[in-house]
Structure 1
């Protein structure tokens, strides 16, 4: 079996154990640990550590038993936590013990009772804490011993496969293995076995026929299914191709499994043949899986290829991946044959070395293809940040594969076969896992495109990026196992994670954090729902202006978020009192370093409560004029008449001078100036201007508009039209209409609107004469 398949299987088992174990641990009743049994186990384990004579398997068994006890001790430590906290609060409520003078008898008696109950509840916790620390130390010592042994095994110098003296040993061992296999086959050629074969012959023939049909017709059936699914709609073509590609390997794999079962039914298979038949579906899964991955990564269809190379290079990459799967299957066959009979290390090194060299050469070719990758698919252009990062990652991986394909065989040739294996085959596993993550990420993007109707454009959306991140995170345990990590290492990491971390006297576990997030998310969602309900359904039916409505909605949002955070911390059971000193020290730094931000925040609260300005008001501040569009906790957004947004800090609006043209009401005054020529009848001009103003529907009749003969100007008799508008937002429209009306009436009444005239006097006019004439 390959190391990758073994690592993948262990990872799945580990994940199932983690989730099922976590549920069981939460639902199981708390029991007092058997400390007597624990002491015996701890003494036995410590003696085994001191002697160092136990094997890794024995240490793993002892370690698992210690870990089980450690989990119980951790549970006991938090068993009486609510009651202990309640007793501590009661003792604190009694106040400190007086330094001078006697305490009241009633208080002293009550204090003694509470302290006695507290000691009684803390006793099992303290015992469990001591046992937990001892168990944790034992686990650490066992892990250290096993890691040291693994390191020594990797760095141990063994037999060199290029040494000709080791070749006869390998040939002899291989000949011995095949002779034993042949003897087993011939051993079962007896009349009884032949009778069983004759009786099962119809079933064997039927199973063989079915298996061959599945093996050779599976891809054709899948292609037919793809053509039918494509007819259902083009938007889901990527999803259909992925599903059909899975059927192309599942159907032949079922055929191989049926074929292996048919051979078992013959009754001719012995122990070794049964092992080969058991491994046959696994080898077939390798061949088909590699082919499937190659067709997904380097598809013949450019629109479906994840790594877009030229058609010739994609064909070459598919061939290399298929060749790599063949070499890995051959390696699996050799390892299975070596398991039949105990083979000497020299023979094992010689037999494994040619396959390692072939795999290394194949990896080097794949790495060379990846180093020559250039994004040219039109969607991942190399000059974009995403395209550049993808190209760099693929080229870096190609360089790493080339380096490993050279270093690993050289190490094995020298005699460090374990180190070479630990370097080469995990690299293959890493390449496969990352390729699988890329394929699943593309499938998730296609599903997202099918559901949302975005189609192929969904591959560039944000959702596939998050899916890829979580897929990569989920693949980390598999990669760790492939590179030599033990299942115990992963479970230890998970146990450390579940224990959480301590802040002062408070320990925050993942469950507490999850509770905090859920409560805050629910509170945040309810706050937004209430805000939307008020904004859409309730407040529009009241007499509150739009600015007041926005202030109510914003204030409710701030209060709701603060309340959600407070409830989340309380609901999670977090005691943050121990952080009071730290928070006090941080507040000083925040006060100096973020005083501008805090000032703007407080100013934003003042604006929402006092409401000197509201959303929709026409204001002028700092030389900027426009409408208030949004008031946030830090700044206010003003939309100018040029349709540009100006972000003004709230502190400037509170401490500075602000002109609000529409505060409280929209009534405003308009002044229009006009001049007429000297000699014009001023009373007649006044009457005409009054008629023009009174014709404007936006001008209020009370107070009445005023026509003022304002001044005797240098060039004209100057008049002013002063009027109050119903809505000052229409000031420019009204001024435009009035100017047009004045120009029209003055033209009809032959009233002249003068303009400035100037006489130019030239001194020394003789210098302007033509020099030629002079």
Structure 2
């Protein structure tokens, strides 16, 4: 019986491969490949589970137990066939079969558990045995049958759970063996290609490898002759003709048709460029790949592909797809002949110089695929395999070196040609330096004899560039398509708005959110695709390396260099993600909503602070510090925070209240003491207000929460103008009213609703005192509009012979008797 912990014994202690394979050979051959069995077993289980619905005489318990028996035999076969000397393809097949056993055993356990619940329900209906009461024979028989069935089902469930656990452990062990094999291959040091020993071993093995190569070529020559003799030449020629037709007229026609359609039908914005680039990439990738498939299929149909060449033919198809993808991506992104359609910001000269390197990358990729398949088909010796890896690695290194030098030369030319800044080049510089560093490590690895590791680094660098280029194109295309299809003035928005009453802004928001979701999914897929051509061994390899540094333990927390690097990486990625999310909110999503500037700022700031808190917690968790320890640390520091950081904490909490309740928001016109101005920014510590002299007043948030302020635009954004003046008694007040209303009508800033009004406030000292009110669309427009009205009023009333003034005021001198006049104010005797 397999224990719960994975096996840690030395793989060399397992029985010999021949003895293990013999034990499970029959089942292994009957089931077929692991991938087929992985999907065949659940399908058979489903068919067996639904069989009772078609034939009532089939017992589901019996079906499940028999399926578990079959899973047990399959598990024994996989366990017997697994050996450290098994090749990579067979190991992957065995792992898939072990996973299939685990999945099917879980399915059978679920089926049996349902049957067990039915049996328990029937037993519960019979009830317990009553002491002293003799049950009827049929009840006794039913109780015995149900008890026996329950025992059988319970035992089967336990056996199925154990089998699933063992299958999971075996799959884990197989995966670990793959990682160990990969790690061992990467860490093997052979003779350096710079030493005579490397080439001496190669020359000694050349006669034997030459005979193998001759046999390999002879097998294909015989297959071609046999195919021609048995009338297979027609199928091969047909495949060749189809391939030529696809490569030349079909590909050119599809490219031209796509360009015409995009120009005629697609809206004239950025989606036109991205749509054409996507179409060119799709055509340039699929058509050459289909041509290679047609060629190989024709040769196979004519019997002109030898069994030893089958792997080479399959790699030719795969290499054609990847090489075509690289060439198509280069053409779609660089657009040498149509610079106005280019999606990346580079000059024409840079595009012309980089385009040949895309063809070189496609050629190198195809050669590496063919070399890998060719040496396997030939059965080349170790020295020849090492030479092919060195050759492929040198090709990749030269390719990457050429691209780096071309890019550096173009940047230098652009810097000499213009003195202007070309924007933030930090990302380009970082990627360039990283690539140079990886290239240097690859060269040193090759020179010191770590051929496999150097070849892996060089190939990995090229593959990352391919994934990055494809992801960049898809990210732009997704955003352009979603923004265009779901724009608020588009046809879809018209149909949804008129048909369902949905606001157009919601449709625009949905497009922005859908674009973000799809691009996030694409980024995750791209991160997984980076490791695609190398299998799942790379993460395990890094896991093996990280276990070398055990770290130190402080209390119950173990801190290691790997944990520190992981926490820093998590912090960096988290901060980058927060910055990207906040930028997306402020520039893409929130502007598509109907929220005002203050609400958008509040949402963006709250999202930022929540993200910061989550990133810090995530980083501490990556460091090995759990949430409960973080809470304990915060509780211990709460007293110090309460006293030492009281003002900062008060302003922080006040800032959160401002962002949540929004008594003051961005864009409001507020008065604090004798200062008033526009609210420009609200942070968690202070609020910035731009006053009339264009200076910035920084107010702590606690002042806005605990003290009285005047928010002139909180409930109503309009401003009120008040005019107070007087005319002499006996003046034509109707004329005064008409002239004032005419002045209001002439002012474009004065609103029609609410209408301007004029009131007689009082009659005092022979004068009529007026009080007038008018409204403008913002408090910011009150002062200049009132000034313009005063200019007009002070000009037109005197022209009409009406004296404009204020109410006379009297001033009396108390105490001494003045000898002359007591004083004159406003032209009247006091």
Query: Could you state the TM-score of these two structures normalised by the residue count of structure 1?
Result: 0.53
2:471 aligned with 1:420, yes or no? no
1:178 is matched with which residue: 199, 206, 213? 213
**Structure 1 residue 251, shift from structure 2 partner:** 2.5
My pick for the range that moved more, 338-347 or 228-237, is 228-237
Q: Secondary structure at the match of 2:339?
A: coil
Q: Which digits, 9 at most, give the CA deviation of each residue in 1:150-184, with x for residues without a partner? A: 43432222244452312224533441232112332
Counterparts in 2 of 1:478 and 1:382: CA distance versus 1, 3 Å: farther
Residues 602/133 of structure 1: CA separation in 2 closer, same or farther (3 Å cut): farther
Aligned partner of 1:411 in structure 2 is: 445
Structure 1: distance between partners of 2:719 and 2:400: 81
CA spacing shift, 1:658–1:129, aligned 2, 3 Å: farther
Find the aligned partners of 2:238 and 2:110 in 1 and give their Cα distance: 58
C-alpha deviations, 1:200-254, integer Å up to 9, x for none? Answer: 5555544433332222323321343145325415545421343144223423332
Residues 190, 450 of structure 2: 8 Å contact kept: yes
Is the aligned partner of 1:393 residue 2:444? no
**Deviation digits for residues 333-354 of structure 1 (CA, Å, limit 9, x no counterpart):** 2221222243322221123322
- Partner Cα separation in structure 2 for residue 275 and residue 179 of structure 1: 17
Which residue in the other structure is 1:357 paired with?
A: 394
Alignment of 1:362-761 (within 5 A): 362-374=399-411, 383=421, 387-388=423-424, 391-447=425-481, 451=485, 452=487, 470-481=521-532, 485-486=536-537, 592=646, 593-596=648-651, 598=653, 622-624=673-675, 652=704, 655-656=707-708, 686-688=729-731, 705-709=761-765, 721-725=768-772, 732=786, 739=794, 743-744=798-799
Task: Deviation per CA, 1:625-680: give whole Å up to 9, x if none.
Answer: 6999999999999999999999997965874376999999x9999785789xxxxx
Q: Which residue of 2 aligns with 1:495?
A: none
Indicate which of 233, 257, 262 corresponds to 2:293. 257
Q: 1-side partners of 2:436 and 2:465: how far apart?
A: 12
Change (3 A) 1:434 1:75: farther
User: Who is 2:567 aligned against?
Assistant: none
Q: What SS does the aligned partner of 1:415 have?
A: coil
Aligned to 2:264: 232
Partner of 1:302: 339
> 1:626·1:639 contact (CA, 8 Å) conserved in 2?
yes
In 2, the alpha carbon distance for the partners of 1:745 and 1:441 equals 71
- 1:587 Cα deviation from its structure 2 partner: 13
Query: Is the CA contact 1:370–1:398 (under 8 Å) kept in the aligned structure 2?
Result: no
Structure with higher RCO (Cα < 8 A, 6+ apart): 1
Provide the C-alpha distance between the structure 2 equivalents of 1:255 and 1:295, rounded to a whole number of angstroms.
19
Distance of aligned partners of 1:140 and 1:371 in 2 relative to their CA distance in 1, 3 Å threshold: farther
Contact kept in structure 1, 2:731 and 2:802, CA below 8 Å: no
* Alignment partners' CA distance in 1, 2:251 and 2:684: 62
- What is the rounded CA distance, in whole Å, between the counterparts of 2:175 and 2:419 in structure 1? 47
Aligned length: 556
**RMSD value, Cα:** 6.6
Q: Give the match's secondary structure for 1:343.
A: coil
2:764 is paired with a residue of what secondary structure?
strand
Hey, what does 2:493 align to over in structure 1?
Answer: none
Kindly tell me: are residues 403 and 669 of structure 1, through their superposed partners in 2, closer, same or farther at Cα, counting changes over 3 Å?
closer
SS at match of 1:706: strand
Residues 105 and 161 in structure 2, CA contact (< 8 A), matched pair in contact too: no
The unaligned stretches of length 5 or more in structure 1 are 1-12, 80-127, 456-460, 493-531, 536-549, 562-577, 676-684, 710-718, 754-774
Unaligned runs of 5+ in 2: 1-33, 51-60, 115-159, 491-511, 544-592, 607-626, 742-755, 777-781, 809-830
CA distance in 1 between counterparts of 2:174 and 2:254 reads: 51
1:211 and 1:660 mapped to 2: Cα distance? 75
Query: Contact 1:481–1:487 (CA<8 Å) still a contact in 2?
Result: no
Q: Does the aligned pair in 1 maintain the 2:234–2:302 contact within 8 Å? A: no
Would the alpha carbon gap of residues 655 and 285 (structure 1) be closer, same or farther in structure 2, given more than 3 Å must change? closer
Corresponding position of 2:376:
339
Q: Distance in 2 between matches of 1:602 and 1:151?
A: 55
- Checking the alignment, whether the CA contact within 8 Å between 1:371 and 1:394 is kept in structure 2 is no
Q: For the Cα contact (< 8 Å) 2:280–2:328, is it kept in 1?
A: no
Aligned equivalents of 2:705 and 2:420: distance in 1?
47
Q: Which moved more, 1:140-149 or 1:178-187?
A: 140-149
The question of 1:291 aligning with 2:327 is answered yes
Question: SS of the residue aligned with 1:232?
Answer: helix
Query: Residue in 2 aligned with 1:713?
Result: none
Distance in 2, matches of 1:615 and 1:189, equals 79
- Deviation string 1:488-524 (CA, Å, 9 cap, x unpaired) is 969x9xxxxxxxxxxxxxxxxxxxxxxxxxxxxxxxx
1:219 aligns with 2:251: yes
After superposition, the Cα gap between the structure-2 partners of 1:139 and 1:741, relative to the gap in structure 1 and judged at 3 Å, is same
Q: Give 1:187 deviation, angstroms.
A: 4.0
Q: After the TM superposition, which of the residue ranges 270-279 and 479-488 deviates more from structure 2? A: 479-488
- Please say if residues 670 and 678 of structure 2, whose CA atoms lie closer than 8 Å, have aligned partners that are also in contact: yes
C-alpha distance in 1 between matches for 2:662 and 2:687: 10
- The change in CA–CA distance for 1:603 and 1:330 in structure 2 (over 3 A counts) is closer
1:269 to 305, 309, 332: 305
* 2:363 corresponding residue in structure 1: 326
Tell me, in whole angstroms, the C-alpha distance in 2 between the residues paired with 1:708 and 1:690: 15
Render the CA deviation track for 1:133-165: whole Å, top value 9, x for unaligned.
999999988877765554343222224445231
